[in-house]
Every structure is written in C-alpha cells, then in structure tokens.
A and B are shown apart, each in its own frame.
Chain A
C-alpha cells in the first residue's frame, strides 16, 4: 500500500492543475503547466538519460496549444513573447540554447532531437482553423508568471497585430 501513496499524491496534485485559457476573436491559446514528475515520466519513458531528466525537472514546464480561429494566417514568433515574474523578466531558453547545452553534456543525438520536437516552434504560421502546440520552458519560479505575446497576421504579416496578456500563468509543482 505504501507504494501507492506517492502515486496518489501526484494524481491529487495533477487534479489541482488548471489550464489558463486565453481567447480573442482570432486566437485561442491554452497554457497547461506540467509538474516536474509529469515531465520526468514523459522523458524517462522515452529512454532519456538521467542527466537530461534531472535538468528538465528543474525547469518550469508549460504546454501551449494555439488555435487560429480567424480567416487569415497568424504568425507565432516566440521572440515576441515576454515573460516576467515579480516584476522582473523571465528569460525563456531558446531551442538553440538547449541544443548547445545537451551537446556540451554529451547527450545522445536521438534524445536531443526528440527533446527539441517536444518544444513549441520558435516561429510558425497558423493557417485558418489550424491548431498546433508544444512546450515552453522557463526558469522555475513560485511567483505568478505574466506574459505579453504579440502575433502578426495576414499573408505578409501586414494585418492586425494581435496582443494577448495574462498574469495568471504559474509553474506547477509536485505535491511534497
């Protein structure tokens, strides 16, 4: 029975996690914070080395799903997403930076590749009706996380600029 207690604690905590959903006339964005144990389970199940999993567990992990509900193309550009916590910028780590980190640690190329495919692309155009997602990683913080994100729209990015803001994001933690 004792073996089940940590599992039950994790499940109890997972049930408490709530997504943050932002809707505009053009976009729906869903942010789902993931706990370190959730992410560790995901990567361990795919044979990731312990060193990689240990690094991943120290991050603030949020799964993002974006749906284009408009009639025009919408452009994601993560360089135009600004995160902050407690009034200070919270720097998201770029996928190239992760690539460099894993290479320095000598991690297997296959696992480096899989890791990158689980990230939200740095840039992506969403056709009308399209939905795509991925994960973003931030430095872990217990403070509420704010975000201001800007999207271009139109075939040549010359349409209306769409700006979304929230101060309701957070980093998920496992139950102690």
Chain B
C-alpha cells in the first residue's frame, strides 16, 4: 500500500471510510434513494389514494377508513374458512401488541361472513383486534385483494404503498423492523 501513488491511496482511504459508514446495503439504499428493503412476501403496491369505505365493526360501531389518516394502517382482508388466515391471526395479534404504542393501526376486514361465525372465531383464537364486517363482501370486491388473506399497508397520507398476499409471520423481526422503519420515516407526516 505504501508503494501506491498518493491518488490511489486516497481512493482506497475514501473507499474504506464509505464501507464503514454504509455497512448494510439496505440502509445504504434507504439513505440514498428513500427506498426501504422489503421483507419476504411484501411487494411495492403504489396505487395512489386508498379507496375510502364505511363499515361497521363487530360491536356495531361505524368506521370510515379516512379516519385513519395521520398514521400507518395495516388493512387486512380475511375469512375464517381460509386456512392461511386462521394460521396467521395470532401473529397479527402479536404484531399489534408489539406496535401498540406506535403510529400504526391494524384494521381487519372479514369478508362476507356472518357475525356469529366471526365472533366465535375471534373468541376461540383469543384475538382482540378491530374487526370490520364486510357482510356482503362488496368492500372486499372493490379493493380486489386477489386472494385471501391479503394485507395492504397505507401511509399516513392515505396512500396505498405495499401489499402482502397470503399469510405471513408478522411478529418476526424482519416484518416488525420493516414496519418500524416506515413508521419512523418522517417524509410521510
């Protein structure tokens, strides 16, 4: 190294400094482009403004999606007859517990089942999440989730940003960290 010309030594010195500053590709990408590395099964789904809807929850209270503006929303379509939906439900509850103090809201939409079926299912699975009843399935149809379960992630400005089709272990560190990165991203507030 000592025999190298001064310009080349300077080049290696700067390169070494850069490697220390940006040791992780995902962080580098995030700082450089604003993109966040997506964990397995999460896809970019930048379709613009989230279509508003109004539904009643399982207690009969009305809910409008536009009321969630200002924080990230995890909008999840499911049905109790769908195996992957049943399997991932405890993981969503754990995710809700982990992120309960963050600017993040989980909204579950049950697709076309009756109240008794949903009530019994949630009781059996020990899930305490806000569950909206899409009794005739028409909100689900309008959102076109392409399959059940499907999750849409909506930013604080009310724009759909990401989609996950199929069940995920949402309480795993890669998903929690991904969501925490989103929540911490000041560009969206």
With CB as the reference atom, state the residue of chain A lying closest to B141: A113
Category for how many chain B residues contact A:
20 to 34
Closest chain A residue to B136 by CB distance?
A109
Q: Are A132 and B137 neighbours in the complex by a CB distance under 8 Å? A: no
User: Number of residues in A with C-beta < 8 Å to the partner?
Assistant: 21
Instruction: Tell me if B114 and A117 are in contact (CB < 8 A).
Output: no
With a CB–CB cut-off of 8 A, which chain B residues contact A117? Answer: 79, 82, 111-112, 140, 147-148
The complex places the Cα of A134 from the Cα of B83 at a distance, in Å, of 12
Please state if A124 and B147 are interface contacts (CB–CB under 8 Å): yes
Nearest CB in chain A: distance from B144 CB, A = 10
Report chain B residues within 8 Å CB of A24: none
- Min distance, Cβ B42 to any Cβ of chain A, angstroms: 9
Interface digits, B121-156 against A, CB 8 Å rule (1 contact, 0 not)? 000000000000001111011000011100000000
Q: Give the number of A-B contacts (CB < 8 Å).
A: 57
A88 on the B face (CB < 8 A):
no
Q: Is A114's CB under 8 angstroms from B147's CB?
A: no
Bound together, the chains give a CA A136 to CA B165 distance in angstroms of 19
Contact B112 A127 (CB under 8 A): no
In the complex, chain A residues 84-139 whose Cβ is within 8 Å of any chain B Cβ: 108-114, 116-117, 121, 124-125, 127, 129-132, 134
Chain B min CB distance to A52 (Å): 13
Grouping DSSP codes into helix (H, G, I), strand (E, B) and loop, the A interface class, with mixed when no group exceeds half, is: mixed
- Which B residues touch A116, using CB under 8 A? 141
B19 to chain A, nearest CB (A): 26
Q: Does A47 contact B (CB under 8 A)?
A: yes
Given A46-B81, A117-B79, A127-B43, are A111 and B147 neighbors across the interface (CB < 8 Å)? no
Q: Is B41's beta carbon under 8 Å from chain A?
A: yes
A129 to B146: give the CA distance in the assembly, Å: 18
Closest 4 CB pairs of A and B: A113-B137, A110-B112, A109-B136, A113-B112
Interface residues of A, Cβ cutoff 8 Å to B: 42, 46-47, 108-114, 116-117, 121, 124-125, 127, 129-132, 134
A-B contacts, 8 listed (Cβ < 8 Å): A113-B111, A114-B79, A114-B111, A114-B137, A117-B112, A127-B40, A132-B147, A132-B166
Chain B interfacial positions (CB closer than 8 Å to A): 40-41, 43, 79, 81-82, 111-114, 135-138, 140-141, 146-148, 165-166
